[in-house]
Structure 1
């Protein structure tokens, strides 16, 4: 039997161990609470600095028709020069000097767009992450995972860009019943003692704090039950305005925003008034809430793809739910667009199946958005939601070298985005 030499325990773990031991001997857990305060330094957050991410690729995209979603401008016979995974030059042939010794991707007869963004997706495996990239989603926002897989995938994306999209991680779901997720981090296990689940202000704050310690970029919570489970009623509210406000406040103390799973009109309104950054699903969102969202600059991520997917369910309850909810949600999307509420595209893919983000753009178009506006929900608008509007969502100097090449004019038919013929991630063809 071989035993590797182990490094000394980290200061963080030693400190926690001492505090926990002292609390146990004293018959208490920190100031009368079961939730110890987070240590000021977190060795896990430092992990991302131990390994330097590799340099992106050098590539020239040549000959296609380039669409800039921000302006709507089109450049025919375009040239895009990428160096080290970053766009260095963009323009029509004859105005952009392309290096002669760099790999060239011929896009003649095709259209070139920036890599697409899926603002609500659940990626838990390398295979799922790879499928998302191949489907054109070069940047995503996680809708939570059960055991912090999204945080690991975020690092994988830095190390091997073609294997995973650029990712904003949500960590674990702030929900009343954590289930097996209490095993995702030892600091969550005290929550299993709570009879009513994660509902008290202390418990809600604790889940947020653990997420932040693990390096979550955003916090995910819910206000209603799930639509994809026939035994649950999506209109049943599980968190109150006051509870949602606790979650939002805890996230803000860490400099993070909150995305909130929601369905009922009251649930949507409570979530928006509590200060969430984006409303997810939001089937029965009302006009008063949409006006409030516009005033607060709260995003709407309707996940039309997921709701449309219910229609084909073999479960009659879910199928009927899909048939009822989809037209209502499309009307809400159209109303949001007309009022000026910012919209972001998200598929809500999960469970091993990764839906194409192009399908969500197609459904946005079906809901009544003009083609360019629908495209923006998966490019410029989604980039802004993720805080990446200076890096993703466009192909221009200084932006990420992420692109999709499609077989037709997306302004005439957005469905071409469902089947990209080539995807480029960080200057590397996928």
Structure 2
């Protein structure tokens, strides 16, 4: 079957699907009515940018110790002023003008940091989205969902920021066997008759085009099988360089980047040479490939949390895999950091088991990064990967009013980031 002859996906389907999904997740038809004019504008605007009518709070956080991950500067007795969900001012108390009568949170004895960024997470439900925010991930990038739930979660975040992180959505996974995902969109059904699955350049382009028509911000594909399924071999390659190149080219035509699931050195190298924006997992990535990543500016999202989790599995194959892979991956993370490869923190959480992004920071630290550099992987570094580095990752004028408060100095003990004592999302205290 030549799927290229099928008419291109309709952009009208994108708006209907997004609006309906957002309404279902928010649990009210009123959201749908309010969202309609904004969703029409959303097709051409930065998905992470504040927009007219967006619900943001007014809040003052005072008395804590403020950390700016970008500079490493620490400010004691700090004040952060948030107006309409955006930081108006942040700094030492005597230099900041506080609006009279503003709602105030005391942060005395605590540290103030920007909300964290989870650069690889799977959010399939509203409950998972709320859980991610509650654990400090106020911004995130989806690692794909089966039925475009992440696009609806992104719209939910725009209408009700306290219920979901601002999200870069990946849509559905570009993978050889779509399984039931073939039902995610009628425009995918022509692929059902392909004998070898989604492997030809035409089929690969088709899945990317449907994702773009649905409103995906990024595209997710793979070079290797999964580590989390005992019957699969994570070092077995499923797409070669030419196939990944076809995905990258189709994504670039839509102005989007590609994140690529990978494990083997050959798979990692093929993905990087094909032009992916970020390499996910990458346990066995070698120095030659890391050097190429540095040259190209390719990001490394190692998802240490997910690999460490395998070691705790009740399945002996997965447990052994986790024990073998984790030290190898930690060495790769340190080598990447020392070479200057940009790193981004991602938990690869899914299935109702949302892990705190602070755990990934902890594992980055244990891999050999300094505490500040580990924190940067979940703030300024991840924000840059997502293209929201003027919105998230810092608490400075014009940035989003996303804040976490922690009990303790994260520069001395990054584990405090695993359990934020307070989370503020877009100026709304949760």
Instruction: Report the counterpart of residue 88 of structure 1 in structure 2.
Output: 88
- Partner of 1:119: helix, strand, or coil? strand
Measure the CA separation in 2 of the matches of 1:75 and 1:371. 17
Q: Does 1:55 align with 2:25?
A: no
How far apart in 1 are the matches of 2:283 and 2:250?
27
Please list, as runs of the form range in 1=range in 2, the aligned pairs for 1:269-418 lying within 5 A after superposition: 269-418=269-418
The residue number in structure 1 matching 2:212 is 212
Residue of structure 2 in register with 1:44 after alignment = 14
User: Is the contact between residue 117 and residue 137 of structure 2 (CA under 8 Å) also seen in structure 1?
Assistant: yes
Corresponding residue number in structure 1 for 2:30: none
Is 1:203 aligned to residue 173 of structure 2?
Answer: no
Deviations 1:104-135 (A, max 9, x none): 01000000000000000000000000000000
* Corresponding residue for residue 68 of structure 2: 68
In structure 2, what is the equivalent of residue 137 of structure 1?
Answer: 137
- C-alpha separation in 2, matches of 1:398 and 1:116: 17
Question: Per the alignment, in what secondary structure is the counterpart of residue 94 of structure 2?
Answer: coil
Matches within 5 A, 1:81-230: 81-230=81-230
Tell me the secondary structure at the aligned position of residue 238 of structure 1: coil
Secondary structure of the residue aligned to 2:109 is coil
Question: Any idea what SS the aligned residue of 1:307 has?
Answer: helix
Aligned to 2:241: 241
Q: Secondary structure at the match of 2:398?
A: coil
- Alpha-carbon separation, structure 1, partners of 2:199 and 2:14: 27
TM-score, L = length of structure 2: 0.91
SS at match of 1:63: strand
Query: Is the 1:120–1:141 contact (alpha carbons within 8 Å) kept by the matching residues of 2?
Result: yes
Task: Indicate if the aligned counterparts of 1:45 and 1:213 stay in contact, CA closer than 8 A.
Answer: no
| Deviation string, structure 1 residues 374-401 (Cα, Å, up to 9, x no partner) | 0000000000000001110000000000
Structure 2 CA distance for aligned equivalents of residues 97 and 218 of structure 1: 40
Gaps in structure 1 of 5+ consecutive residues: 1-28
Compute the displacement of 1:37 (Å): 3.6
| 2:61–2:81 CA contact under 8 A, matched in 1 | yes
* 8 A Cα contact 1:35 1:202, kept in partner: no
| RMSD between aligned residues | 1.3
The residue matched to 1:64 in structure 2 has which SS? strand
Where 1:267 maps in the other structure, the secondary structure is helix
Distance 1:35 1:108, change over 3 A: farther
Deviations 1:53-92 (A, max 9, x none): 5330000000000000000001100000000000001111
- State the secondary structure of the residue aligned to 2:239: coil
Residue 61 of structure 1 aligns to a residue in which SS? strand
1:97 deviates by: 1.0
Which portions of structure 1, spanning 4 or more consecutive aligned residues, are displaced by more than 3 angstroms? 32-35, 39-43, 45-49, 51-54
Question: Contact 1:79/1:92 (CA < 8 Å) preserved in 2?
Answer: yes
- Distance in 2 of aligned mates of 1:88 and 1:377: 25
2:50 aligns with none
SS at match of 1:44: helix
Contact 1:35 1:190 in 2 (8 A): no
| SS in structure 2 of the partner of residue 333 of structure 1 | helix
Structure 1 pair 158–290 and aligned structure 2 pair: CA distance change class (3 A): same
Contact 1:59 1:82 (C-alpha < 8 Å) held by counterparts: yes
Shift of 1:44: 2.3
Give deviations 1:149-174, integer Å, cap 9, x for gaps.
Answer: 00000000011111100000000000
Distance 1:287 1:57, change over 3 A: same
Contact 2:147 2:172 in 1 (8 A): yes
Where structure 2 has 5 or more consecutive residues not aligned to the other structure, the ranges are 20-34, 39-52
- Does the 8 Å CA contact 2:259/2:279 hold for their aligned counterparts? yes
Structure 2 partner of 1:268: 268
Q: CA offsets, 1:210-249, max 9 Å, x none? A: 0000000000000000000000000000001000000000
Task: Give the superposition deviation at 1:292.
Answer: 0.2
The alpha-carbon distance between structure 1 residues 35 and 407, as it changes in their structure 2 partners (threshold 3 A), is farther
Q: 1:410 is paired with a residue of what secondary structure?
A: coil
Distance 2:217 2:105 in 1: 34
Query: Does structure 2 conserve the Cα–Cα contact (< 8 Å) formed by 1:57 and 1:85?
Result: yes
Residues 67, 73 of structure 1: 8 Å contact kept? yes
Q: Is the 8 A contact 1:35 1:206 kept in 2?
A: no
The whole-number CA distance in structure 2 between the counterparts of 1:41 and 1:130 is 29
Shift of 1:51: 4.0
What is the number of residues matched between the two proteins? 400
